[in-house]
Copies of this chain bind each other. A is one copy, B any other.
């Protein structure tokens, strides 16, 4: 794939850009997005016109249509987001370890970009701008594949971004590229020589398809089957408030709760269930599939014998996303947070807090349920890796093997 090879080549140069140049590029993008707003709205209108009949025939959902639509507010947030990324600390070039191995032999572990990242997302054109900003700041090259519904908007956004980047002297041309077809995606997934990481942002089926069809590491989450366990000692008002927030505040979010587990000795069970129903929640006792992500105000529930059963249920049927316990018992809270194997383990808090902005990361690539590299909400740091730099003065290993020299491994202040 020509585009992937070009991205790899660009990424070597992008990796060496200074913080100043990267921030200059981000400011230039923000400016040009501002200047080209009407052009972007025009392109978006085209996409909306194509999408409208599909909405009417039910070929796309209302929520896809809404995500596709750019308005003044979204545009403002989008431009603001680019400036926010410029304000974040540079994640590249951070010294993570500085150790003198021996006299004159200095080891440094330094953060650096991953290289080339493929991003496959569904119909949300603002993702293009967000991911491009994060890629620039973390000095990675990216290949973007957006939803076909947003093709005109995406093309226009990328041309504005790249026209801005062209004005930055020394900025490698192929840092941000875009592809459009399903065949392109299949090609991308095969490019393990040139693409270092794939980040899918979309529904379960998209993520599953990608995981099944590539050898490239995939960062993301397929499902968001979050749980809340109401322990015996839970404060009933707090329990009610947290479950209602976690289920109704934004039911289609991946961090919304799907299953409620209630300790059999929780005294206010009936009152809780009544309150949840009053809040518009449909409760399902014993659904066939405990791993189903409803994405609407439906909530599965189960009465459990003890905290161990709750933990086991979550580890078996959950997706490792975010799970909460409501309890006044500190030992149980600790037990839950240590034994539940999820990226987020919460005590007396709604699951909806699982989010890079709420965690204070300033920007978010997505949420990962991976067990390697990055887990939970992923910010700029998740787009970096590190390299080891070793500086000496003719040091050779033979002298350490024959006992002439020996290591003293002295950590230096960073």
Contact = CB atoms under 8 A, between A and B. Distances in A.
Contacts of A354: 388
Contact of A388 (B333, B345, B394): B345
Contact of A359 (B99, B237, B342): B99
B349 A395 contact: yes
A12 B315 contact: yes
A345 B345 CA distance: 39
Most buried by B among A215, A342, A377: A215
A349 B393 CA distance: 7
B395 A338 contact: no
A190 to B, nearest CB: 12
A241 B396 contact: yes
Interface stretch (A76-84, A128-136, A397-405): A397-405
Given A371-B197, A373-B372, A409-B360, A349 B391 contact: yes
Given A12-B315, A372-B372, A245 B345 contact: no
Nearest to A410: B360
Contacts of A343: 387-388
B338 A15 contact: yes
A42 B401 CA distance: 30
A373 to B, nearest CB: 4
Contacts of A401: 249
A392 interface: yes
B101 A396 contact: no
Interface string A380-395: 0000011111111111
A238 B390 contact: no
B391 A115 contact: no
A352 B396 contact: yes
Interface bin, chain A: 35 or more
Contacts of A338: 15-16
Nearest to A355: B397
B242 A341 contact: no
A373 B196 CA distance: 12
A390 B349 contact: yes
Number of copies: 2
A15 B339 CA distance: 8
A375 interface: yes
A221 interface: no
A202 interface: no
A333 B400 CA distance: 24
A347 interface: yes
A159 to B, nearest CB: 29
- Which of A333, A353, A409 has the most B CB atoms < 10 Å from its CB? A353
B353 A371 contact: no
A212 B400 CA distance: 38
Contacts of A246: 396
Contacts of A395: 348-350, 353
Contacts of A375: 385-388
A376 to B, nearest CB: 5
From A197, A250, A339, A397, residue with most partner B Cβ within 10 Å: A397
23 contacts: A99-B359, A101-B353, A107-B360, A114-B372, A219-B372, A238-B394, A241-B396, A244-B396, A245-B398, A246-B396, A342-B387, A344-B390, A345-B387, A346-B390, A348-B391, A348-B394, A348-B395, A353-B395, A358-B407, A359-B388, A360-B407, A376-B386, A376-B387
Interface of A: 12, 15-16, 99, 101, 105, 107, 114-115, 196-197, 211-212, 215, 217, 219, 235, 237-238, 241-242, 244-246, 249-250, 315, 333, 337-339, 341-350, 352-354, 358-360, 370-373, 375-377, 385-398, 400-401, 407, 409
CB-based closest 7 A-B pairs: A245-B396, A360-B409, A349-B392, A352-B397, A238-B394, A196-B371, A373-B373
